[in-house]
Amino acid sequence: MSGKILVITGPTAAGKTALGVQCAKSLGGQVISADSMQVYKYMDIGTAKPTAEEMEGIPHRMIDVASPMEDYAVARYVEEASRWADRIIAEGGVPVVVGGTGLYIESLIRGITFGPRGDEELRRSLEAEYDRLGGQELLEKLRPMDPQSAARLHPNDKKRIVRALELAMTGQSITEHDEESRAAPPRYEAKIVVLGFEDRQELYGRIDRRVDLMLERGLISEVEGLLEMGVSPKGTAMQAIGYKETVWALEGRISMEEAAELIKQGSRRYAKRQLTWCRRYSGALQISREKSTKIADALQASTDFFRES
C-alpha cells in the first residue's frame, strides 16, 4: 500500500470542488481531479472545470492533460493520477481526490492495472478485421483463448472485443487479468467522503441552474471552437453531456432550447447514476450539502484520519 488519500465524491453540482479545496487547505494537500472529461483541454465551460479563483491557490492535478482529439481511458488515468498521488505523499502532502467519475476513483484506489498496452499495429489490424467480419466472428476467434469474455461481451462492443483479443494474444486473458486485479490489496488507504443532498429536488434545481449558467458563459461558442479545431463530433470527448447535445443543435437536428433541456435531463440522470455508484463505498462518510455543520464534520474526520499512524 502506497499511503493514504482523501476522496471527495458525489453527484454533479453537489459542491465537491469547494469542499475539496477546503480539505486540501486544511490538510496541506493538493487536489487530484477524478473527472473523465476535465482531463481534456479546451473543454472548460461544459465540464465545469474549477476556475483559478475557485482553486484558491491549491494545485489541481489531472486537469487539461489530454487533447480533445484523444481517446482518454481509465488505464491512462490510473497511471498518471497514481504518479501524482505518490509524489504528493512523498513530499509530505495529502492527495485529495475530487470528482464524480466512480470508475476512475475505484481504479485509482485499488491500483488496478489494465494489462500491457499491446501493439498498435495489431490493434488496428483487429479493428479492421472487426469492421470487415463483424463482432460475432471476432467473438468466435476470442472464444478458445478467453471463453468467459467471449460469452460476456456483446457483438456490438467493438472496443472491448478488440481489447480482449489484443490482450489474449499476449498469453493472458482479460478474465485472468481481472481476477488477479481483484485479488490484489488496494494501492491506497482511502478516506471517502460522499457529498450528497437530502433533498433530491434541490440537487436537480442546482443542476438546472448550472446548465443555464454554462449556456450564458458560452458553451455554444466553446463547442463551435472544438469543431473548428477538427475535433470529431463522434470522438470520446464530444460524447460528454452538454457537448453532444450542443452539436446536435449546431447541426440543425434540434433547437438550442431542446438541447438545453436534454442537457439538463442527461445531467440529472447522470447524478442518479453517481448516487447509485456512491452506495458501493461501505464505510464512507456521508454528508449533506444542505447542512454546513456536516461540512465541518467532514473536515474533522479527514484530519483525524491522516493523524492516525
The C-alpha cell at 196 is: 450528497
- The total of other beta-carbon atoms located within 10 Å of residue 240's CB is 19
Q: 130 and 150: one domain?
A: yes
Q: How confident is the model at residue 294 (pLDDT cuts 50, 70, 90)?
A: low
Q: 151 and 290: one domain?
A: no
Q: 131 and 106: one domain?
A: no
Q: 46 and 136: one domain?
A: no
Q: 10 and 152: one domain?
A: no
Q: 296 and 274: one domain?
A: yes
CATH number at residue 164: 1.10.20.140
The residue with greater pLDDT, 44 or 295, is 44
The residue with greater pLDDT, 118 or 107, is 107
Q: What is the pTM of this model?
A: 0.83
pLDDT digits (tens, 9 = 90+) for 130-186: 999 999 999 999 999 889 889 988 888 888 898 889 888 877 666 666 666 666 789
Cβ-based neighbours of 239, under 8 Å, separated by 6 or more: none
CATH number at residue 275: 3.40.50.300
Q: 104 and 226: one domain?
A: yes
pLDDT digits (tens, 9 = 90+) for 23-64: 999 999 999 999 999 999 999 999 999 999 999 999 999 999
Q: 165 and 218: one domain?
A: no
Mean predicted lDDT score pLDDT of the chain: 90
Instruction: Provide the β-strand partners of residue 40.
Output: 66
Q: What's the confidence (pLDDT) of residue 283?
A: 87
Q: Counting Cβ atoms within 10 Å, is residue 265 exposed (0-12), middle (13-18) or buried (19+)? A: middle
Q: What's the confidence (pLDDT) of residue 196?
A: 82
Q: 72 and 200: one domain?
A: yes
Q: 208 and 144: one domain?
A: no
The DSSP line for 278-304 is HTT-TT-EEEETT-HHHHHHHHHHHHH
Q: 139 and 75: one domain?
A: no
| Number of structural domains found in the chain | 2
Q: What's the confidence (pLDDT) of residue 197?
A: 73
Q: What's the confidence (pLDDT) of residue 61?
A: 98
Q: Considering 158, 183, 208, which residue would you say is the last residue of a domain?
A: 183
* Averaged pLDDT for residues 101-129: 82
Q: What's the confidence (pLDDT) of residue 163?
A: 84
CA distance 133 to 118: 22
pLDDT > 90 in the chain, percent: 66
- Domain range holding 235? 3-111+184-307
